[in-house]
Amino acid sequence: MQQQAPSGYDLFQPTEEAALLRQTVRQFVEREVEPQAARHEREERFNRELFRRLGELGLLGITVPEDWGGAGMDAVAAVIAHEEITASDPGLGLSYLAHSMLFVNNFFHNSNQTQREKYLEKVLSGEWVAGMCMSEPEGGTDIQAMRSTAVKSGGNYILNGRKMWVTNGCLDDHNPGDVFLVYARTGAKISTFVVDRTMEGFSLGQKIRDKAGMRSSPTAELVFSDCRVPAENLLGAEGESLIHMMRNLELERLTLAAMALGIARRCLDEMNRYAGQRTAFGQPINQFGQIQRHIGESYAEFSAGRCLVYDVARRLRLEQPGMRLETDAAKLYTATMAKNVADRAIQVLGGYGYVGEYSVERLWRAAKLLEIGGGTMEAHQKNITRDLSRNPRFFR
Amino acid sequence: MNILVPVKSVVDVELNIRVKDSHIVEDGLNYILSKWDENALEAALQLKEAGGGEVTAVTVGPARSGEALRKAMAMGADKGIHINDPATEGSDSWGYARVLEAVARKGSYDLIITGRQSQDTDMGSTGAFLAALLDLPLVVNVIHMERQSEAGRLEVHRKGDGDTEVIELALPALITANDSLNEPRLASLKGIMAAKKKPLETLTLADLSLDASQVGAQGAAIEIMGFEAPPGRAAGKKFEGEPEEVTAQVVGLLASEAKIFT
Ligand SMILES: Cc1cc2nc3c(=O)[nH]c(=O)nc-3n(C[C@H](O)[C@H](O)[C@H](O)COP(=O)(O)OP(=O)(O)OC[C@H]3O[C@@H](n4cnc5c(N)ncnc54)[C@H](O)[C@@H]3O)c2cc1C
């Protein structure tokens, strides 16, 4: 590999692999993702075949080591993939994140050999669609209020409870997704279980319809009713969930922030192009100061967010936590940034921005989710303040 | 079958290219693998997958061209050869063909596949020059390849003027790929990671026993006098009125201005 001179360091493509990855995912998105994005969103339908293609390309195991059939790439690579896919189809980006980050990356780092042999191949190929079940109908942010329970009985755990808002929870109206990490209470503490669709007592409660955006990503309520989970499907030891969550949360937030970058970049691209072509009062609308403000501020905010996300990605180590403050900040800033940029894009496009053909209203609806899912803004604000109060000398 | 695929790193024409003082402004440009070379590579990979052998990608150019080679290996080429020598700068097709000739003679290849032209200069002559220098049978603009040909032969279809020519070639030979020959595969993530571990040989002109005077601007048979940005597009015409009147106006202008009926 050619050694880059330090002055030639590229934050967004720090290595040749990163540059090749971006090129490849972008090519894939142009050819196969963009042509189907608007339709699947409109029809509120998950594109199962396209998801398998993610597996064929190796995207579903992006952070899993090569020895285990993954691509063995780092956090920067995960950010690149999420940014590129989401710039075209945020719903697909969300389902990709739920599968490869919320399930695969978490599962890999906390599973044993037998568990990996049982599940890894199926989820890396895309034969199985996976997700993570934390939130419940009665509570999301307040994890400690979790009601689902798992009670050991012989060689099984008997799981009872309902999980809400599960991305990839269903494939269509009738079929649940294939495999999930499920958090449930074992006594006072919370434990993590791998539950797959073959297990008795596991069923699809309902497909959640009529989401504001991200409609090509299926969301479901899942029901566990005396669900018999073999004891060997307990991830790690009983009561270890908080450790699993801690390990994975940073990468989850970072890739959610990467999705925000994708949305903002696309919106900026759309408004910039449109403003150069559309004329009013005898000149292109990008000659008007108020339009310039929309574009100028969007570019500045997008650039700031992009530097933040890639800088955090560069420093994040997949195996060790330690970037909670930074990843909270990255998601908090970029989610609202993306929403504002999308909003300005609609404004710049006028009436055309308000209809589906020009994509920006779809991105705008998608952006709002990033202020809620994977931690609400309020949760990030709370975390940041807590971390800073413990470490007043946060600056180096 | 051992196949050599010369690939070129070219400026990404999707980005704005600026011309200043008759030179292309290199600052801020992005370089990609020339698209016809992706077709050439795809054809080579398909032949290898059907009948075994090895695919070698070769590029001539500065350090940054290494990325095109790495992409070729990420797509599936088994190894890469990078001719990185400042003396090759400013080469014309003839110069590149001479370097590639030396590379081809160092190895043993049953088939060489190039793109029908490169995406930057659109000359389309490197492949033909290379075939001439190596005294190989040549078919340009191949749109289809038969895979069941007997050993030592290859049946290809090429696009001629209006017709498709079906040609059987005795190997070794050289063909150039049209972009309708195939749909180039995407590099998989595993391919990208594997490419790092594939052999990449970097050579200079001296390693190929070539003299600097034979290549680069010195050895060039043509001289590029300058570049000009294409003229901006003239504004379109808008017709208003009753359909009959408008139709008559449009037909009139198509005849008198666009001259499409002569
Ligand atoms: C499309 C979509 C996909 C999702 N995918 C998944 C998934 O795959 N898996 C999964 O487990 N979950 C998923 N979620 C759930 C998501 O993570 C939760 O919605 C989120 O964590 C918020 O929880 P809640 O909806 O229960 O809201 P609540 O926690 O009830 O919050 C309601 C409001 O109160 C605020 N609030 C709560 N506590 C505090 C506090 N201490 N201080 C200040 N304000 C507070 C919140 O910020 C929010 O504004 C998804 C949600 C959506 C919409």
Consecutive 10-residue averages of pLDDT for chain A (396 residues): 55 93 96 97 97 98 97 97 98 98 97 97 98 93 90 96 98 97 95 97 96 98 97 96 90 98 98 97 97 98 98 93 94 98 98 94 98 96 94 76
Residues of A in contact with B187 (CB under 8 A): 20, 23-24
**CATH, range B2-219:** 3.40.50.620
Has residue B16 got a pLDDT over 80? Answer: no
Question: Is any atom of ligand 1 closer than 6 Å to the C-beta of A292?
Answer: no
Which amino acid is it at B233?
R
Q: How far apart are CA A217 and CA A201, in angstroms?
A: 25
Q: pTM to 2 decimals? A: 0.91
Per the annotation, the verdict on A319 as an active-site residue is no
Rg (CA), chain A: 21
pLDDT for position A98: 98
**ω into residue B172 within 30 of 0, thus cis?**
yes
User: What pLDDT, in 10s, does the model give residues B79-120?
Assistant: 999 999 999 998 999 999 999 999 999 999 999 999 999 988
pLDDT for position A3: 41
Residues of B in contact with A17 (CB under 8 A): 192-193, 196
Closest chain B residue to A62 measured between Cα atoms?
B189
Show the tokens assigned to A255. Answer: 């890739």
* Helix A34-42, helix A360-369: angle, nearest 10: 70
Which of A252, A270, A301, A326 is catalytic? The answer is A252
CA distance B192 to chain A (A): 6
Show the tokens assigned to B108. Answer: 């043993």
Number of other residues whose CB lies within 10 A of the CB of residue A30? 12
Q: How far is CA A115 from the centre of its chain?
A: 24
Question: Is any atom of ligand 1 closer than 6 Å to the C-beta of A216?
Answer: no
User: Do A326 and A251 contact (CB within 8 A), yes or no?
Assistant: no
User: Do A130 and A222 contact (CB within 8 A), yes or no?
Assistant: no
Least Cα distance to A53 among A65, A35, A67 occurs for A35
CA distance A240 to chain B (A): 32
Q: Which of A107, A136, A376 has the most ligand 1 atoms within 8 A of CB, as the residue to mutate?
A: A376
Least Cα distance to A370 among A228, A167, A194 occurs for A167
Residues of A in contact with B188 (CB under 8 A): 24, 56-58
User: What pLDDT, in 10s, does the model give residues A344-359?
Assistant: 999 999 999 999 999 9
> Does the CB of A72 have a partner CB in chain B at under 8 Å?
yes
Asked whether the beta carbons of residue B190 and residue A24 sit closer than 8 angstroms, the reply is no
Residues of B in contact with A31 (CB under 8 A): 186
Asked whether the beta carbons of residue A57 and residue B32 sit closer than 8 angstroms, the reply is no
Q: How far apart are CA A36 and CA B199, in angstroms?
A: 39
End-to-end CA distance of chain B: 51
Q: How far is CA B119 from the centre of its chain?
A: 6
Q: How far apart are CA B176 and CA A247, in angstroms?
A: 52
pLDDT for position A293: 98
Write the CB contacts of B193 (distance below 8 Å, at least 6 apart in sequence): A17, A66, A71, A72, A73
Q: How far apart are CA A320 and CA A248, in angstroms?
A: 9
Q: How far apart are CA B66 and CA B190, in angstroms?
A: 19
User: Do A214 and A90 contact (CB within 8 A), yes or no?
Assistant: yes
User: Do A262 and A90 contact (CB within 8 A), yes or no?
Assistant: yes
User: What pLDDT, in 10s, does the model give residues B42-79?
Assistant: 999 999 999 899 999 999 999 989 999 999 999 999 99
Task: For CA atoms A375, A380, A381, A385, give the dihedral sign.
Answer: positive
pLDDT for position A6: 45
Has residue B211 got a pLDDT over 60? Answer: yes
Number of other residues whose CB lies within 10 A of the CB of residue A174? 8
pLDDT for position B23: 76
User: Do B57 and B5 contact (CB within 8 A), yes or no?
Assistant: yes
Diameter of chain A by CA atoms? 79
Least Cα distance to A205 among A133, A98, A155 occurs for A133
> Does the CB of A56 have a partner CB in chain B at under 8 Å?
yes
> Does the CB of A318 have a partner CB in chain B at under 8 Å?
no
pLDDT for position B257: 82
pLDDT for position B102: 97
Q: Whose CA is nearest to atom 35 of ligand 1?
A: A378
Q: How far is CA A281 from the centre of its chain?
A: 43
Domains present along chain A, CATH in parentheses? 6-125 (1.10.540.10), 130-235 (2.40.110.10), 241-390 (1.20.140.10)
Q: What is the DSSP string of A351-388?
A: GGGGSGGGSHHHHHHHHHHTTTTTS-HHHHHHHHHHHH
> pLDDT category, B262, cuts 50, 70, 90?
low
Question: Is any atom of ligand 1 closer than 6 Å to the C-beta of A165?
Answer: yes
User: Do B59 and B7 contact (CB within 8 A), yes or no?
Assistant: yes
User: Do A347 and A284 contact (CB within 8 A), yes or no?
Assistant: no
pLDDT for position A7: 54
User: Do A82 and A306 contact (CB within 8 A), yes or no?
Assistant: no
Please tell me the distance between residue A20's alpha carbon and the centre of ligand 1 in angstroms. Answer: 36
pLDDT for position B159: 84
Residues of B in contact with A56 (CB under 8 A): 188
Domain ranges of chain B: 2-219
Closest chain B residue to A70 measured between Cα atoms?
B190
Which H or E run includes A104? none
Closest ligand 1 atom to Cα of A214? 1
User: Do A312 and A74 contact (CB within 8 A), yes or no?
Assistant: no
Least Cα distance to A22 among B69, B78, B74, B18 occurs for B74
Q: Which of A29, A32, A57 to mutate to test the interface with B (most CBs of B within 10 A)?
A: A57
User: What pLDDT, in 10s, does the model give residues B213-247?
Assistant: 989 888 888 888 888 877 877 778 888 889 998 99
pLDDT for position B142: 96
Q: Which of A104, A132, A135 has the most ligand 1 atoms within 8 A of CB, as the residue to mutate?
A: A135
User: Do A122 and A294 contact (CB within 8 A), yes or no?
Assistant: no
